A and B are shown apart, each in its own frame.
Chain A
């Protein structure tokens, strides 16, 4: 289908972009999430603000022990950064499976996160890594934790006049003494779209054979990606298989699971448990 008519502004600077933004605008970077919405006429903005050319929103920089990623950095550029993949292997692993080659060439990390598809692969990774998102508007700048950013399907803490400009990742978790940190992502994909029916991201830190930190987050399972508090039960243990299975079951218990033509709520809940178990076990083996 053909989108409804709109005005188009190609921003020449970040300031330019922020000035153009308002209630009936949409921001386009790679466009691989937005254009399908425009074409189905699910989105009918009056003005499209193109930030795809803004160099100031691109690139990956070390900052303190962590990293700052420009929101308009493409998935392909994430994959081309050996430094990023060495620091956060989980990001590399997940990015490789986002969309397809063409989508990764055009799609941007900030675009995907701001789009907030409830089944996207990157949000749960941002949750376990405890990322911070920088939001800018004409009026100024504020930071919002990824853990407070996702509010519902395609709904975030951003105001219509705000632009996601940067993703900040804290220093990668390191194990103290003899140990380390491990991350893993396990998902069941919907075959036609590649989106997760359910996906689970896990990050585990181990010191002297004992788990010191365990984070688990889901995508696709409920109306928004979320962190499962049950994972904290692994802290202070060796993460025995029975315990991981218990935590995986507890983490999906009581969740109001999505129910649609692709999977019933009961089936999704079961898949969520399996994905959680696999992600936790693999994260632990990588941390060891």
Chain B
């Protein structure tokens, strides 16, 4: 298969189509073609986690997934987290605990934290910090991010 092809992606529960080349990365298709710009591109080298989305409920770095690889999987982005039109408990907790400064890393942080809480609803502080190893924040020093995740866990 060369050139571009049409693919069908399940994004936030909605079936979307996009024209892609095999080399197109999921993050750029989400942002540039599907207008889901909540997912950020930070380092572009698979380190910073700003591009984290869920594939079948599991956090992955969408700068390190080909759009074609995502076909047939359920993709969730930060835009798909809201509940009944309101904020997801993690979004609420990041707001209340001031778990961000510039906000660039926040969507990725929240997507990783959502994966963590889905498998480990009451993580220890050490477990939270271990889970965030693939998400970099250059502002906060992580303290309030950890506090926000702890608050979201407690609110469940």
Distance in angstroms between the alpha carbons of A49 and B116 in the assembled complex: 31
Q: Tell me which of B9-17, B65-73, B91-99, B143-151 binds A.
A: B65-73
Distance in angstroms between the alpha carbons of A1 and B45 in the assembled complex: 8
A36-B46, A102-B60, A106-B60 as given contacts; A8 in contact with B22, CB under 8 Å: yes
Chain A nearest CB: distance from B105 CB in Å? 13
List of A residues within 8 angstroms of B21 by Cβ: 5
Give the residues from 6 to 33 in chain A that come closer than 8 angstroms, CB to CB, to chain B. 6-10, 28, 31-32
One digit per residue, 1 when the CB lies within 8 angstroms of any chain A CB and 0 when it does not, for chain B 38-49 equals: 000000111101
Any B CB within 8 A of the CB of A210: no
Residue of A nearest to B58 (CB): A105
Distance in angstroms between the alpha carbons of A32 and B69 in the assembled complex: 12
List of A residues within 8 angstroms of B72 by Cβ: 53
Chain A nearest CB: distance from B44 CB in Å? 7
Any B CB within 8 A of the CB of A253: no
Provide the main secondary structure of the chain B interface: mixed
Distance in angstroms between the alpha carbons of A38 and B24 in the assembled complex: 11
Any B CB within 8 A of the CB of A288: no
Any A CB within 8 A of the CB of B6: no
Query: Are B58 and A76 touching (Cβ within 8 A)?
Result: yes
Query: Are B22 and A32 touching (Cβ within 8 A)?
Result: no
Any A CB within 8 A of the CB of B77: no
Instruction: Tell me how many residues of A have a C-beta within 8 Å of chain B.
Output: 32
Any B CB within 8 A of the CB of A93: no
Chain A nearest CB: distance from B76 CB in Å? 13
Which residue of the partner chain, among B1, B52, B69, B115, contacts A31 with CB atoms under 8 Å? B69
Distance in angstroms between the alpha carbons of A190 and B132 in the assembled complex: 17
List of A residues within 8 angstroms of B115 by Cβ: 101, 105
Query: Are A36 and B2 touching (Cβ within 8 A)?
Result: no
Which residue of the partner chain, among B1, B23, B58, B134, contacts A100 with CB atoms under 8 Å? B134
Query: Are A5 and B22 touching (Cβ within 8 A)?
Result: yes
List of A residues within 8 angstroms of B58 by Cβ: 76, 105-106
Most A CB within 10 A of own CB, among B64, B65, B115: B64
Query: Are B134 and A101 touching (Cβ within 8 A)?
Result: yes
Any A CB within 8 A of the CB of B106: no
Which residue of the partner chain, among B2, B46, B69, B132, contacts A7 with CB atoms under 8 Å? B2
Any B CB within 8 A of the CB of A194: yes
Which residue of the partner chain, among B1, B60, B64, contacts A8 with CB atoms under 8 Å? B1
Query: Are A99 and B134 touching (Cβ within 8 A)?
Result: yes
Any B CB within 8 A of the CB of A81: no
Chain B nearest CB: distance from A218 CB in Å? 24
Query: Are B59 and A5 touching (Cβ within 8 A)?
Result: no
Distance in angstroms between the alpha carbons of A47 and B135 in the assembled complex: 31
List of B residues within 8 angstroms of A38 by Cβ: 23
List of A residues within 8 angstroms of B66 by Cβ: 8, 28, 31, 35, 48
List of B residues within 8 angstroms of A3 by Cβ: 23
Which residue of the partner chain, among B2, B69, B133, contacts A50 with CB atoms under 8 Å? B69
Most B CB within 10 A of own CB, among A4, A35, A52, A105: A105
Residue of B nearest to A101 (CB): B131
Residue of B nearest to A32 (CB): B64
List of B residues within 8 angstroms of A100 by Cβ: 49, 133-135
List of B residues within 8 angstroms of A9 by Cβ: 1
Query: Besides A7-B22, A8-B22, 11 other CB < 8 A contacts?
Result: A2-B23, A7-B1, A31-B64, A35-B65, A100-B134, A101-B130, A102-B52, A103-B46, A103-B61, A106-B60, A193-B47
Nearest 7 CB-CB pairings of A with B? A100-B134, A8-B22, A100-B133, A105-B58, A3-B23, A35-B64, A102-B134
Chain B positions near chain A (C-beta within 8 angstroms): 1-2, 21-23, 25, 44-47, 49, 52, 55, 58-61, 64-66, 68-69, 71-72, 112, 115-116, 130-135
Please, could you name 16 A-B residue pairs with CB atoms under 8 Å apart, sorted by A?
A5-B22, A5-B23, A8-B1, A32-B46, A35-B46, A101-B59, A101-B132, A102-B49, A102-B59, A102-B60, A102-B61, A105-B60, A106-B58, A106-B61, A192-B47, A194-B133
